[in-house]
Structure 1
């Protein structure tokens, strides 16, 4: 399949025995224009694209304008980008959805989304309290599941979904009880919602666990799973970290004393969190490819890795930019940390690990981040 179609205007009508100098010049220009859009001279475009798809997109971006256009075309394997929910500092209601291109180092607004009525980030009566907008990524989609309104009710009756490869928004199945916070996580293409509070506290909701397969072609429903033993995980918005076919979560954020629980997906059963895992859970946690678990100690700015065989946490690095960490995302050898310093990318695939600050759009601060395939140009 050709990557680019070059539209050539209809040639002017000529006398059968005469071709003007202008016509000859135009023909030369058209041929030159065509040559400029050939991916690899001497190869059909579909074969050239097959060869180029194995090359690092950042190299293609820096070598040729033609190759630069190729890596953003819908037919080229998408590289991964950073997606962020951003807000204006001190704003009570304003959020924007952006994507950061790691190849061109630029931010782009996502296409317009359906209205988010009365969504609240900060309540005027609780100046020090931030109200969470809970989101998760699954099946290469960004999914908003829970948020709060001005009257402290659930803002999202059903998940709001963004699909980067098509640049479109859609809705997921309605929750039996929409939440204004919950334990939210994903394993593979399946989203899990546990506990939380609806418009009013209910022990039934506080102990609930439901799942939804994002790839389900019909609207689908949330499937109920085994209940939690109590409602102690309904106190605030928390992450349920997908790790080795389990969901791991604690009931409060930060450095405070907490309880932990682990849901075994295969057995459909809740278990106690291992002692060492719980002891080291002192900030946001994420699992790289659902296999290697990391934590950022938000008080000390220390990044640690969980050693399952020893039930202990191994220190990797300490950095000021990691202090006050609020969210952690792990993907493809890199960690994205949202903290008081903004967004930082930690490359843990190199030794020693390297920290790369991400410059945010002017006047905005991060609410949440995710790593998903890039959007094709044109959206």
Structure 2
């Protein structure tokens, strides 16, 4: 009997110690309602503030249920080494498109060192805004669902993001970010619903993601360095894109990007680099694309240096100043939905250099596809279908 009492006392002390060491801040305790109607933004922000100012590592906990949250900006720095946001339920945007505005953000984390976001679902409820845009109405631009900015040592694991008005996840001006096991979905017709956008950030890793949207599955913006993308299934969508780059003259470049073991199904593009056809001092260099499977992809491999949507904002004689070099494609195979499966349309004033092709097998209608090269130089080796045009 004495042993049992001792065991129960020890268990109680251990539980108390763990609870104290990892403080739990349940949003429901701060007034959040899981009824799918009441705005719980204030409760979420109060729970965050309590966790952030604590000297102990803590967890902001979102229990099961549906919590409506309007704009919420979670700011740092925090006093402890790490704050975890554990989502077991669903965070839902307000109905309509009340989140929208110029460059609006729905859920934003800014200036935090040591942040984990785990599990759960965020639902941007973007359908009404997409319908407005499709009708040609006077619509706001929309809101990005989850933004991580000016932060270090961040992990996003097992999160599901659905129906964002604009980009689903944005990583901007960050260092040391891991995104693992996320699922991102929006209809193929939804405009500008990029899955993950990385910009101005260093040392970002994206693995084991399933992304299907109306725009790029992953888009890579200026100032991105040391980006690793692996085991990503993309479709529908516009593929994995570096760019568009070079819209502004003094834009930062993109360097050291690896994209490997990817699957593209019915996408508009596979592996794409696109730059504006205008002067720029930007660059793309040190890019590795390898082990990709294309299934009925419109443009499996494409470099487009004459990007100028609606022919606005570009010189009459388009020529991109972005310098593209040292880009390799290895073990890219599958089916193209167009005759030209490899399309290098590079800048006349700044030709692509150091392009590498190795072991490519892309077919169109059970026949070898074609390749097209403009202002592109490099080397080719191994089994090549279509034959290299470099």
- TM-score (normalised: structure 1): 0.23
Which protein has the bigger strand share? Answer: 2
Q: Structure 2 length as normaliser, TM-score? A: 0.22
